[in-house]
Amino acid sequence: MRHSLPHAPQFYVTAPQPCPYLHGRAERKLFTALAGDAANELNNALSRQGFRRSQNVLYRPSCESCVACMSARIRASDFKPSRTQRRVMRRNTGLRRLATSAWATEEQYELFRAYLDERHADGGMADMDIFEFAAMIEETPVRTRVIEYRTAHGAENDTENGQQGGAQPGGDRLAAVCLTDVLDDGLSLVYSFYDPALESASLGTHIILDHIELARSAGLPFVYLGYWVPGSRKMDYKARFSALEIYKGGVWQPIGDPAQHSSDIHPLSIDPIVEQVARISLPSGRR
């Protein structure tokens, strides 16, 4: 179904599907196309309102009887790592970061397949082939980077023990990848994956910690993590980062005690799609 405002992007809503985060619930998404000269401006504006990018689409959960999914971001300047996170930082000092353009490689796809087969074999991306993977990486109308993390061959044990690995030219190994959008107020982690054989290195946490440092060095205030879902074990790790904010009730607010955020809501309290679209703040000239 299509919903739009005069002279504005058209918004659509998907049919309900089984929720991937909370058993027995259904998810529905509100989305719009992302294209043209104003794509960056629209991505910036809607990201601040809880939307996320997937290729050339911006989407936000708009379920019929649930508001459990809340966009989450870290205030980079206020973040203080926990003791566990400091250990992760020391453990991965041997990794080398390489920022590249949004271009897919066979090496990235092999790592992606190993990650899916080990961690998400029954997920919605399990059957993604190399062409679909390339589309996920390369079909972006906004400012996007691929951040690779590499370690030297034979240095995996050094990485896990927190020792300097020392990557060798031409002999390094891809350990983790993050597809990252550069917004005007932060870095948005679109999708990340890593070598499942290096699980003890906590590379997922390392990617977030490194993006916090990247944001700080670039003078960007936020690191956008995607959605946090109370009650979902898949999303618990996001609440372990300090200075975390969630987009709830149309405003960004500190997460506070994660246990206080209920995922239950009466269906009559969910606003109609038309009202949700009417409240979306668009960049000047797009209304």
Number of other CB atoms surrounding residue 248 within 10 Å? 15
C-beta separation of 223 from 215 below 8 A: yes
CATH number of the domain at 83-223, please? 3.40.630
Kindly write down the DSSP assignment for every residue of 212-228, as one continuous string: HHHHHHHT--EEEEEEE
Tokens, residue 233 = 């074990």
pLDDT higher than threshold 60 for residue 1: no
Q: Above 80 in pLDDT, residue 114?
A: yes
Alpha carbon distances (Å) from 2 to 11, 127, 285 = 6, 29, 21
Give the pLDDT score at 161. 45
In whole angstroms, give the CA distance from residue 163 to residue 183.
33
> Among 24-33, 37-46, 170-179, where is mean pLDDT lowest?
170-179
Residues shown for the chain: 287
Q: What angle do CA 155, 160, 166 make, to 5 degrees?
A: 35
Given this model, what pLDDT does residue 169 score?
44
Number of other CB atoms surrounding residue 35 within 10 Å: 13
Domain boundary assignment for the chain: 2-76+227-278, 83-223
pLDDT of residue 238: 95
Strand-pairing partners, residue 147, are 99, 178
What's the pLDDT at 22? 86
The single-letter code of the amino acid at 226 is G
Residue 68's pLDDT is what? Answer: 87
Residue 189's pLDDT band, with cuts at 50, 70 and 90, is: very high
pLDDT value, residue 65: 82
